[in-house]
Structure 1
Amino acid sequence: MQLPTALTPLRHPAFRLLWFANLCSNTGMWMQNTGAGWLMTSLAPSPLMVSLVQVASLLPVFLLALPAGALADIVDRRRYLILAQAWIACAGALLAVLAWTGNLGAWGLVGLTFCIGIGTAMNSPAWAATTPETVPRQDLTGAIVLNGIGFNLSRTVGPAIGGFTVAAAGAEATFALNALSFLAVIVALLVWKREAPRATLPKEHFLSAIRAGLGYTRASPVLRGVMLRGFVFFLFAAALWGLLPLLVRQQLGLGPEWFGIMLAGMGVGAVGAGLLLPSLRGRLDRGGTVTVAAVITGAALILLGQAQHWAVALLAMLLYGVGWLAGASTLQASAQLSVPSWVRARAIGIYQLVTFGGLTLGAGFGGYGGEAFGIGPALGLSGLLCAGGGLLVRRYAIEPPAAETAALAADAPVPAVPTPEPAAPSLAQLLNEESGRVLEVVRYRIAARDRAAFLAAMAACRQVRLRSGAQGWRLYEDVAHPDRWVELWLMDSWTEHLREEGRMTEWDRSVLARAAALHGGPAAPEASRYLNVMPGLLS
């Protein structure tokens, strides 16, 4: 039987195993979030304190996303994920015990929610980076969207179960069920036979891995565009999370089961959007999808702020789910597809640092706005800013140019680029990860008529060098012989220099080859490498 287009990634066994396990744990997490949000309305029923539950769950991702991404790229990813899941399960179990024994106060709830958030923060970049390992590239976008569908399917089921569980057995029951749900993920990770990539070089050090990830991000206009648009989208869309429990309880006058139903309504909208996204992909590019998603999400927040009846609020939550899934999954797909595998977890970590920073600020400002202006006006203002912000930043590209996409997808021969001579055997003992910095040099001869084209090509080369780990890059023109040019860049060590070649994509090599093709000398451009043997003088 042929699967619907949106479900085709499930034909891959490893992806299917992890997807269903993640669905189980996300369902438990949404039950826990429902219980925590509702419990806080009894422990400390102010908009600010209720919003702090959301802030506590989001803030760790903002604080830890970058180091978590670096760790996920340099350690065994499967073991790392198992440890992160075990941490979340233990924190959830402690929360359940304290709530059951009546020893949980408002700040204790915030603190343990923060601990669970730490586990989520350490888990998220590594988990997202596993998706390209379980599906081929042609199914990657569909797999990311399907992850979003699973997340929102759990959002549909989890809050509904959580709301009725709170009404029947108290919030502590949702905490216990959440802790148990993470055992399913641990079992799936133990069953998963991950084929780790073979490493011919020593593992990157933690700080150098972070530095390489930041350098890649600075030199990647597409990834920067994804982060900017993600920050704006989540900043203004996040007000809902801190204010929804109070809106249900105070503005609508409903009980905890309705809080779960409202979140379930959002999940239904999100699942519907996820199923439709593959068919819309040919009509609307990713940038346009995110803009439309911001407008839909903004309109939903405005409608929700005005709602005085459950039917209107439920309709608004359905619309919010459509906009949220379309925006979040498209941005996540853009972040993953715009980076190579060697830096993927770090890039996702940096993306999550920025977007969860927006979520954290948005949830906090939502709580402050609810106290200052009231719940309805605060949601309405957030909706206006969400739609307006999405339109304002729509000019920032979130997918590579068509030529680069085609180069990455094609199975074409690797273009020739300037290659230095092999290292002298007498220096072999100095060439390791403890060596000083390595200065790399390429010399060009460029005719005057090609000067403008060469400068444009070298601007692209600069981004390639920096994305591949260079600590600095310069281009010099000989003042006595204007046709002679020297390109210089620094690598942190000989080992980092060796990693540089493996970090380049086919598109990167084609960029370097285009610059080399403008060289007019009798031979190919001369490439050479110099070891910094006196760092005190050349720091």
Structure 2
Amino acid sequence: MRWWSAANLVSNAGTWMQLTVQNLLVLQITGSAAMTGLSVAVQAAPGLLLGVAGGAAVDSWPRKITATVSQAALGFVAFVTAALVAFDLLNAGVLMALAAVTGLIATVDGPACALLGNDLVEARDVPSAIALGSVVHSVGRLAGAALAGGTVAWFGTAAAYVANGLSFLVVASVIPFLKPVPRPPHGEAPAAAPARGPRAAGKPAARGGAREGLAFFLRRPRLVALAGITGVSAIFGRNYGLTLAVLVTGPLAGDAEDFGTVATVLAVGGTIGAVLAGRLRRPSVRLVAAMAASGALLQVVAGLSPSLAVLVLLVAPMAVVESISDTAGSTVLQTDPPARLRGRVLGVWRSASTGWGLAGPPLLGLLMEAAGARGALVAGGLVVVGAIGVGALCHGRRTLSTTVVPARRVPAAEPLPELTPMV
């Protein structure tokens, strides 16, 4: 797990180094902000359309091989992009094609790497492993953003893609040496003998395997509730790169440096929240809802902040509770399904999360145009709290109706049985 975390720290730093310069590169090549947004949508499209299929592939293929190949493939795409940038051969069409290929590989790479990390620890330590992954992600994000400026200034834009490609190869080279902890599948009886047949050979799942994951997801009320909470929060409560940027530079009369301070506090708070979430042993959907509602209430107060100093004081606890909520939700998502369906369930989640990730910024932008930055933060927070409250009320009524069973009554028209005398 230490080797895996160190490799992912390097990979996250490389990824965020590339992401920091990618939008600027698209804008430089195309000269169009619309094309920049289109490149993001093209990269996200495979996750929206093929997430379930990617999850089914992860359930069918050997996990270490799948993660190794997907990481190497992402590294290859980064190296190709670097070469095209260096030789000034990158145009809008090639850029869109590379974005689509990256998104396609990610539909397999995301669930494969997430589940591989969980396989490296005992079942009771999976929440801590997921929390550690969140810490690694946050630290890598800060390091990558900090390194991007110097790398581009000294070596050019292509160097950021080269660094990202090398970071993928670091992960791919570490995976073959990892030793997963042997344990029976979650909720299933231990296998009496090693698996044989098509599944053992790493062949694709049987026909309809992807549909099985979707059916399982829809039949599990706690997973549906988790999706509802996360989706509403993501659309109306988590786009702080948009809402807080407008709030800081608009009503609070700040500048880009002030927003950088707010963003840094958010990142630090998210890291602290991930560390605290590592203490969780049995996170629940109820905890996810409570933390999401708390973050939404803090968002409402942040929208009413009279000064930048007050906003900075509020964003830290906002990031902490939302990081705990995210980590708890990830733990439920990755441990609730039986082992044979976890990849497919993560694939369903990827499709859903891509959908609300694409829908959130435009909807929030319209809300800010109608109500301003403060109004959008306040209204969005109240929508999240209201949705969670309605869900909790419906769950409470359903639980009450299933626990209180009325006594059986004999219909009035039903005749009583006759007593036959014994001879």
The TM tier, using the shorter chain, reads: 0.7 to 0.9
8 Å Cα contact 1:236-1:383 kept in structure 2: no
1:334 deviates by 1.6
Letter in structure 2 aligned against 1:271 = T
1:261 deviates by 7.1
Of 145, 148, 158 in structure 2, the residue corresponding to residue 159 of structure 1 is 145
Q: Which has the higher helix share?
A: 2
1:80 deviates by 1.0
Gap change, CA 1:266 and 1:40, over 3 Å in 2: farther
1:72 deviates by 0.6
Tell me the equivalent position of 1:191: 177
Matches within 5 A, 1:98-109: 98-105=84-91, 108-109=94-95
Letter in structure 1 aligned against 2:233 = F
Matched, 1:373 2:369: yes
Q: Which deviates the most, 205-214 or 224-233?
A: 205-214
1:43 deviates by 4.8
- SS of the counterpart of 1:272? helix
Deviations 1:428-456 (A, max 9, x none): xxxxxxxxxxxxxxxxxxxxxxxx7999x
Gap change, CA 1:262 and 1:288, over 3 Å in 2: closer
Q: Which deviates the most, 265-274 or 340-349?
A: 265-274
Tell me the equivalent position of 1:359: 357
Of 319, 326, 329 in structure 1, the residue corresponding to residue 327 of structure 2 is 329
Matches within 5 A, 1:17-28: 17-28=3-14
Tell me the equivalent position of 1:287: 289
Matched, 1:384 2:369: no
Mapped partners of 1:262, 1:108: distance in 2: 36
Matches within 5 A, 1:403-422: none
Bigger RCO (CA 8 Å, 6+ sep): 2
Tell me the equivalent position of 1:488: none
Letter in structure 2 aligned against 1:75 = W
Q: Which deviates the most, 199-208 or 326-335?
A: 199-208
1:281 deviates by 8.0
Q: CA RMSD in A?
A: 4.1
Tell me the equivalent position of 1:231: 231
Letter in structure 1 aligned against 2:384 = G
8 Å Cα contact 2:78-2:161 kept in structure 1: yes
Gap change, CA 1:34 and 1:114, over 3 Å in 2: farther
Structure 1 residues without counterparts, runs of 5 or longer: 1-14, 402-451, 456-539
Tell me the equivalent position of 1:485: none
Deviations 1:43-63 (A, max 9, x none): 567664444454344333222
Q: Which deviates the most, 81-90 or 99-108?
A: 99-108
Gap change, CA 1:277 and 1:224, over 3 Å in 2: same
8 Å Cα contact 2:247-2:373 kept in structure 1: no
1:70 deviates by 0.6
Mapped partners of 1:246, 1:19: distance in 2: 35
Deviations 1:258-301 (A, max 9, x none): 9987655432221111123356889983331232234445666x
Q: Which deviates the most, 330-339 or 169-178?
A: 169-178
8 Å Cα contact 2:14-2:164 kept in structure 1: yes
Deviations 1:165-187 (A, max 9, x none): 34444433222211111011101
Gap change, CA 1:267 and 1:136, over 3 Å in 2: same
Gap change, CA 1:174 and 1:37, over 3 Å in 2: same
- SS of the counterpart of 2:22? helix
Matches within 5 A, 1:489-508: none
8 Å Cα contact 2:299-2:377 kept in structure 1: no
Mapped partners of 2:301, 2:30: distance in 1: 30
Gap change, CA 1:315 and 1:185, over 3 Å in 2: farther
Matched, 1:60 2:46: yes
Matched, 1:276 2:271: no
1:71 deviates by 0.6
1:335 deviates by 1.0
1:191 deviates by 1.5
Q: Which has the higher strand share?
A: 1
- SS of the counterpart of 1:185? helix
8 Å Cα contact 2:236-2:383 kept in structure 1: no
Mapped partners of 2:26, 2:244: distance in 1: 12
Tell me the equivalent position of 1:7: none
8 Å Cα contact 1:297-1:324 kept in structure 2: no
Identity across aligned pairs (percent)? 24
Of 116, 123, 129 in structure 2, the residue corresponding to residue 143 of structure 1 is 129
8 Å Cα contact 2:74-2:105 kept in structure 1: yes
- SS of the counterpart of 1:189? helix
Q: Which deviates the most, 330-339 or 285-294?
A: 285-294
Mapped partners of 1:184, 1:454: distance in 2: 65
Structure 2 residues without counterparts, runs of 5 or longer: 185-193, 397-404, 409-423
1:27 deviates by 1.3
Of 124, 129, 137 in structure 1, the residue corresponding to residue 110 of structure 2 is 124
8 Å Cα contact 1:35-1:171 kept in structure 2: yes
Mapped partners of 2:243, 2:380: distance in 1: 16
Deviations 1:442-498 (A, max 9, x none): xxxxxxxxxx7999xxxxxxxxxxxxxxxxxxxxxxxxxxxxxxxxxxxxxxxxxxx
Mapped partners of 1:184, 1:356: distance in 2: 27
- SS of the counterpart of 2:131? helix
Letter in structure 1 aligned against 2:369 = F
Letter in structure 2 aligned against 1:89 = G
